[in-house]
Structure 1
Amino acid sequence: MNYQNILMALDRTAASDRVFDHALGLAQSSHGQLRLVHSLTVKPYENLGKLIDAGVGLQSSTRVQHEEETAQLHQIQEARSWLEQLRTEAQHHVSTDFVCEIADPGPFICQLAQAWGADVVVVGNSGKRGLKKLVLGSVSDYVANHAPCSVMVVPNDPSLEVEVLSR
C-alpha cells in the first residue's frame, strides 16, 4: 500500500528502534513523509510525598512547584533533542518533522493522526499482557481502536510479524 503521511509514535524504549526502522522503510518505499511523535506522560502521583509535605507546610510549595517545572522542562528538552537526532537521520531519506508534547499518549497520537491527515500510524507494542496490560493499559491497543486511519503495530519481539490494522 502507498502511504504518503506516516505518523510514527515513539516512546524512548528499545522497541522504538524497530518502530523507527519500519516506518522509515515504509516512507522510503512509498516516497512519503514522516511525522515523529513523542508524548511525555503526566505522572500526577510521582511526587505525591513532596506535594503532601508542601500542603502541610513541611516544604515550600513554591520550591516543590519550581522543581516539578524544572524536571518537566528537562524531560521535554531531552525528548526534543532525541527526536531532532532521529529527524536528522530520517531527513536524509524522506521529509520528516516531529511533535513532542506532554499529553496522554493514546488520545494524543489519534488526535494528531486526524489533524495531520495521516494515512497510517506506526506504533510499537511492548508486549504487556494480562494484569499488567489491564492496569497500565496499552497505547498500541488504544491507537488501534481509535485511530482514524490504518495502524501498523510493530512488536517488541523481532521474531513476531508487524500487524496491520486497516480502516
Structure 2
Amino acid sequence: MADSSRVAAVSGGPALAEEKMRVMVAMDESDESFYALHWVLNNLFSPGIVATETQTHYHHDDSNSNNTMNMLTLIHVMEPFPHYVFPGMQAVFPTTSVIQSVNKAQEETASAMLTQALHMCAQRMVKAKTCILEGDPKEMICDVAEQMQIDLIAIGSRGLGKIKRAFMGSVSDYVTHHAKCPVLVIKQPSDFQK
C-alpha cells in the first residue's frame, strides 16, 4: 500500500483513508489495462467487503454516501460498428443482422473481460462495479467520469509509437487533456502477466 502522502499527491486531494474516493479504471482487452487495474488495486485500495455488481447503463447511486469505502468503477466503451466506404467504389453498408451479430459479439467479449476484472477486484476484496457503453472511448470516458463525479481516472498506456499516435490518436492522451479530474496513466512493466 502506498503511503498516504504519495496517494494524496497522485489524487490531488486528501488521503484515501479520510474520505470516500471514486476511482474509474478504463478497461479493454489489452494487458496494459489489466496492469492498470492491478496497479490501482495494489496502490490505491485497501481490502474491504467483497461486493461486485455489473451494470450496462450508467446509474449513479448515492445510497451508500455515508460509507467510507472507496468505490471502483470499471468502464469499457465499445466502438460503434463502422460503415465502410471504399474510395472509388460504392458505399458498403452492412445488413442489420450483421450489425446485431457484431454488437452481440462485442458485448460478450466485453462482459467476459469485465468478469475477469471483477474477479481481480474480488480477490483483493475491493468493491467494484462495471459499466459497458458504446461510443467513442476517448469522449465517453471523460463524459462518464464527469457524470459520475469520479475523483481519479486510471488508464493503461499502450505505448503507441509517434506515427500510430498521430494517425489513430491515443485514448490516454485525449483523456489526460480533456478529463475534468486527475488522470493517472500507468505504464506496464515488461514482466507483468495477467
The letter of the residue matching 1:7 is: M
Please tell me whether the aligned partners of residues 90 and 96 of structure 1 are also in contact (alpha carbons under 8 angstroms).
yes
In the other structure, the counterpart of 1:58 is none
Q: Does 1:16 align with 2:33?
A: yes
Q: 1-side partners of 2:189 and 2:160: how far apart? A: 12
Aligned to 1:57: none
Counterpart among 147, 153, 167 of residue 179 in structure 2: 147
Query: Using the alignment, how far apart are the partners of 1:53 and 1:107 within structure 2?
Result: 27
CA drift of 1:114 comes to 0.7
Q: Is the 8 A contact 2:76 2:133 kept in 1?
A: yes
Match among 108, 112, 115 for residue 140 of structure 2: 108
Q: Deviations over 1:86-140 (max 9, x none)?
A: 2133134211001111110111111111111111000011111322111000000
Return the alpha-carbon distance in structure 2 between the equivalents of residues 53 and 151 of structure 1.
39
Question: What's the offset of the Cα at 1:82?
Answer: 1.8
- Structure 1 residue 29 displacement after superposition: 3.8
Structure 2 unmatched runs, 5+: 1-7, 9-14, 48-68
CA RMSD of aligned residues (A): 2.3
What amino acid is aligned across from residue 155 of structure 1 in structure 2? K
For the pair 1:40 / 2:60, whether they are aligned, the reply is no
In the alignment, structure 1 residue 83 sits paired with structure 2 residue 114: yes
Q: Tell me if structure 2 keeps the 8 A contact 1:24–1:34.
A: no
Q: Give the Cα–Cα distance (whole angstroms) in 1 for the partners of residues 148 and 44 of structure 2.
A: 16
Q: Which runs of 5+ in 1 are unaligned?
A: 55-60, 160-167
The alpha carbon displacement at 1:42 in A equals 2.4
CA distance in 2, matches of 1:128, 1:89: 26
Task: Give me the whole-angstrom Cα distance separating, in 1, the residues matched to 2:92 and 2:72.
Answer: 45
Q: Deviation per CA, 1:34-64: give whole Å up to 9, x if none.
A: 100111112414x557x9456xxxxxx6xx2
Q: Between Structure 1 and Structure 2, how many residues are aligned?
A: 149
Of all paired residues, the percent bearing the same amino acid is 23
Give, in angstroms, the shift of residue 143 of structure 1: 0.6
Give the number of the structure with larger relative contact order, counting CA–CA contacts within 8 Å between residues 6 or more apart.
2
Cα distance in 1, alignment partners of residues 190 and 35 from structure 2: 8
Aligned mate of 1:69, from 100, 120, 124:
100
Ranges of 4+ aligned residues in structure 1 off by more than 6 Å: none
Q: In structure 1, what is the Cα distance between the partners aligned to 2:82 and 2:96?
A: 12
**More displaced 10-residue stretch of structure 1: 29-38 or 119-128:** 29-38
Within 2, Cα distance between the matches of 1:26 and 1:149?
Answer: 19
Please say if residues 27 and 94 of structure 1, whose CA atoms lie closer than 8 Å, have aligned partners that are also in contact: no
Q: CA deviation at 1:81?
A: 2.4
